[in-house]
Amino acid sequence: VQLQASGGGLVQPGDSLRLSCAASGRTFKVYSAGWFRQAPGKEREFVASISYRDHRRLYADSVKGRFTISRDNDKTTAFLEMHTLKPEDTAVYYCAASPYPNDIVSERRYDYWGQGTQVTVSS
């Protein structure tokens, strides 16, 4: 699976962004999708995931209630809608695909990664 993340940019605190992750290659329908992020000087961390089996969604505590992950299997695309953005959300955001239907918080459960898209939240 090849993944292409897009939609990042420079926004002000409180703004919204929608990230997209376009998949190609193998059937995206049988892969769970996840979003991770890496801020400068920090390790990459889990943001959100959605299972391919039951579309169960998981979120990091830091983004619950503000971010929403979704997927469109027909268009082989996953999305991350981000609202009420904060400066601490600034990071490179990566999408990833996992062959597992659950227990997909750890990045070790993901086989394919996109190139990352920069999100900067600053006034």
Q: Retrieve residue 55's tokens.
A: 């579309």
- DSSP helix, strand, coil percent of the chain (3-state; round to 5): 5, 50, 45
pLDDT of res. 91: 98
Q: Give the tens place of pLDDT for each residue, 59-115.
A: 999 999 999 999 987 769 999 999 999 999 999 999 999 999 999 999 999 999 999
Taking alpha carbons only, the member of 39, 31, 61, 38 closest to residue 48 is 61
Residues paired with residue 80 on neighbouring β-strands, in sequence order: 19, 69
